[in-house]
């Protein structure tokens, strides 16, 4: 299908309209062909936010949790109906392989469907109980109870370029179910998928419940006010700018940050080469380096292996990564597409060079011959595997190279020292540890958990059904401390907290219970 150069429409104040000027030109990163123009210049962004607060907020708050869940279910159904079209758009605008594109689109659909199911279980209530009643006096009648109610504002969802669909779905599911209207601000480079997604779901929602703008001037966050939520996903550099906004500093606007992370995979010294746990480790690491061309916040960037297995792991990883077929995702047999833009390619190549100052290059770093595109075209990078020469070099633990690049380290024998090395990442989204030794697994969990939002334990017992560390499940928390942003998304009902006010109620137990039961 040949795409016509199009102008992405913005949905603000219940009306679809085009911005003025040319804005950003969105490209196909394999061919560098221009695909669309994105801009919201000249549109009334503040009025759009006000409409969402007033109309969308009121409409959502009038609904029960079960009713809001039906809306999420209808959104998931719409995405399913447009699945093939969305996958193709993600391949064209994001440089995704078909399987990478499915990961994004199905991730959005699955997350919305999961929250639709949770909502059905909550029933016809408009107040969400947080725990049971607590007796406050000597007699049981005087009680206290915590409840969640929707915040009276708008949730601005600012997303990163790498997951235009899932990034929308995971934030939208929690915000809408909590009862907040959403305004989406997708990343410019891959905005086609996000805009099309909103186009296909908008009319199942009440007017004002969902809006979208390609605000290239980055004005939207500064237009937020008391009661609003700013839910951000992107780099820690941009997060720092948002944290300094006067409205955020004064705490009028609640900020949730999902930022970057140098995720680690650890192989336990008990693991035998060739066994099920070893194979699970290898296949997870290979997938997490290659999938989405390494443009995943949860991708494995650092690999820690015991001295006795270092050579074996090195050879196995090189063997499996060497033959990854890079090229235009529409070409037969391609396993890894380009990165999303010329700027990302420059950043990945430059980052790999900086890592290589302290590491031996085992594979990649430069030189790639993409399949299906003329030489010199497209934003392609090679899979790059490095081996640390100096495990204490700060750059190896601190520089997130957002591409298919990872560094191999020899683990110290002492578990505390290993944990200290991993912790030099400064807070991460996910760490995976592969071991069948229960005592070691426990020790690692206690050491690693304070530094990560999620710890994945790979072992022989679950090898056949394991979900890799890079897949974010709606059941479990997503986020992490430190440079990962300190945010908490998803995790079932926990994900609603950002968009809700938790309030303590005090009074007659029967009255409190009646309010909670609706
Ligand atoms: P980014 O440059 O920080 O941009 C993220 C979003 O913020 C985009 O929508 C961008 O819009 C917007 N933005 C940039 N500067 C802004 C400003 N001054 N004011 C308001 N908005 C601004 O990040 P990215 O390059 O898109 O994404 C890659 C990064 O995101 C990586 O570091 C990755 O680790 C992280 N990430 C984290 C998660 C997670 O869940 N923790 C998930 C995915 C990605 P424009 O595109 O229009 O500039």
* Domain 263-474 in this protein, CATH class: alpha beta
Mean pLDDT computed over every residue of the chain: 96
Q: Please tell me which residue in 170, 258, 276, 288 is annotated as part of the active site.
A: 258
Indicate whether 18 pLDDT > 90. yes
**Once rounded to an integer, what is the mean pLDDT over residues 221-238?**
97
Ligand 1 center to residue 314 CA distance, Å?
33
Where in the chain are all domains bearing CATH 3.40.605.10? 34-259+487-517
For residues 225 and 26, is the Cβ–Cβ distance under 8 A?
no
How many beta carbons lie within 10 A of that of residue 238, not counting itself? 17
User: Residue 61's pLDDT band (boundaries 50, 70, 90)?
Assistant: very high
Length of the chain: 518
Q: How far apart are CA 518 and CA 127, in angstroms?
A: 7
**Once rounded to an integer, what is the mean pLDDT over residues 6-32?**
95
- CATH architecture entry for 34-259+487-517: 3-Layer(aba) Sandwich (3.40)
Ligand 1: nearest atom to the Cα of 400: 32
At 5 the pLDDT is: 64
Q: Give nearest CA residue, ligand 1 atom 28.
A: 234
For strands 34-38 and 24-27, give the pairing.
antiparallel
For residues 469 and 298, is the Cβ–Cβ distance under 8 A?
yes
pLDDT tens track for 121-159: 999 999 999 999 999 989 999 999 999 999 999 999 999
pLDDT tens track for 443-500: 999 999 999 999 999 999 999 887 899 999 999 999 999 999 999 999 999 999 999 9
User: Residue 3's pLDDT band (boundaries 50, 70, 90)?
Assistant: very low
Active site residue 297: yes
Indicate whether 4 pLDDT > 70. no
What token pair was written down for 213? 């703008």
Q: How far apart are CA 185 and CA 191, in angstroms?
A: 9
Ligand 1 center to residue 272 CA distance, Å?
40
Indicate whether 514 pLDDT > 60. yes
Where in the chain are all domains bearing CATH 3.40.309.10? 263-474
Distances, alpha carbon 378 to alpha carbons 4, 8, 162, 397, in Å: 20, 23, 17, 29
**CB-based pocket (< 6 A), ligand 1:** 158-163, 185, 187-188, 216, 218, 221, 233-235, 238, 241, 258-260, 297, 400, 402, 429
Tokens 């891959």 — which residue?
A: 190
Ligand 1 probe mutation, 36, 194, 195, 238, most atoms within 8 A of CB? 238
Ligand 1 center to residue 160 CA distance, Å?
4
């Amino acid at each position: 299908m040949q795409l016509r150069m199009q102008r992405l429409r913005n949905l603000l104040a219940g009306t679809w309209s085009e911005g003025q000027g040319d804005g950003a030109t969105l490209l196909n990163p394999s061919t560098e062909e221009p695909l669309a123009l994105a801009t919201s210049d000249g549109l009334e962004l503040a009025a759009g936010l006000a409409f969402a607060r007033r109309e969308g907020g009121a409409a959502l708050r009038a609904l029960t949790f079960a009713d809001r869940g039906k809306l999420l279910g209808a959104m998931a159904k719409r995405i399913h109906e447009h699945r093939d079209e969305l996958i193709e758009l993600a391949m064209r605008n994001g440089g995704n392989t078909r399987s990478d594109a499915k990961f994004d689109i199905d991730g959005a659909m699955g997350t919305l469907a999961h929250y639709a199911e949770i909502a059905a279980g909550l029933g016809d209530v408009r107040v969400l109980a947080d725990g049971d009643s607590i007796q406050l006096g000597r007699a049981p009648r005087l009680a206290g109870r915590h409840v969640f109610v929707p915040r009276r504002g708008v949730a601005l969802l600012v997303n990163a370029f790498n997951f235009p669909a899932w990034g929308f779905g995971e934030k939208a599911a929690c915000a809408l179910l909590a009862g907040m209207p959403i305004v989406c601000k997708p990343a410019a480079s891959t905005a086609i998928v996000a805009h099309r997604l909103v186009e296909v779901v908008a009319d199942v929602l009440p007017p004002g419940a969902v809006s979208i703008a390609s605000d290239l001037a980055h004005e939207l966050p500064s237009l937020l006010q008391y009661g609003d939520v700013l839910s951000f996903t992107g780099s820690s550099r941009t997060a720092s700018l948002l944290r300094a906004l006067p409205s955020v500093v004064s705490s009028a606007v609640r900020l949730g940050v999902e930022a970057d992370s140098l995720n680690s995979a650890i192989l336990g010294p008990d693991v035998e080469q060739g066994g099920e746990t070893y194979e699970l480790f290898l296949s997870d690491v290979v997938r997490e380096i290659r999938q989405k061309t390494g443009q995943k916040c949860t991708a494995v960037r650092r690999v820690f292996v015991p001295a006795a297995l270092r050579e074996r792991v090195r050879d196995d990883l090189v063997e499996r990564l060497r033959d990854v077929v890079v090229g235009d995702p529409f070409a037969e047999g391609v396993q890894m597409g380009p990165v999303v833009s010329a700027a990302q390619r420059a950043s990945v190549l430059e980052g790999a060079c900086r890592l290589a100052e302290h590491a031996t290059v085992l594979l990649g770093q430069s030189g790639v011959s993409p399949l299906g595109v003329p030489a010199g075209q497209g934003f392609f990078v090679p899979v790059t595997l490095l081996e640390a020469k100096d495990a204490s070099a700060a750059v190896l633990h601190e520089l997130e190279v957002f591409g298919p690049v990872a560094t191999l380290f020899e683990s110290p024998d002492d578990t505390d020292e290993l944990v200290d090395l991993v912790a030099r990442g400064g807070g991460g989204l996910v760490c995976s540890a592969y071991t069948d030794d229960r005592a070691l697994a426990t020790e690692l969990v206690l050491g690693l958990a304070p530094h990560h939002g999620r710890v994945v334990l790979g072992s022989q017992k679950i090898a056949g059904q394991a979900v890799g560390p890079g897949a974010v499940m709606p059941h479990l928390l997503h986020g992490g401390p430190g440079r990962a942003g300190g945010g908490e998304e998803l995790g079932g009902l926990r994900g609603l907290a950002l968009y809700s006010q938790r309030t303590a109620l005090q009074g007659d137990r029967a009255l409190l219970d009646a309010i909670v039961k609706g």
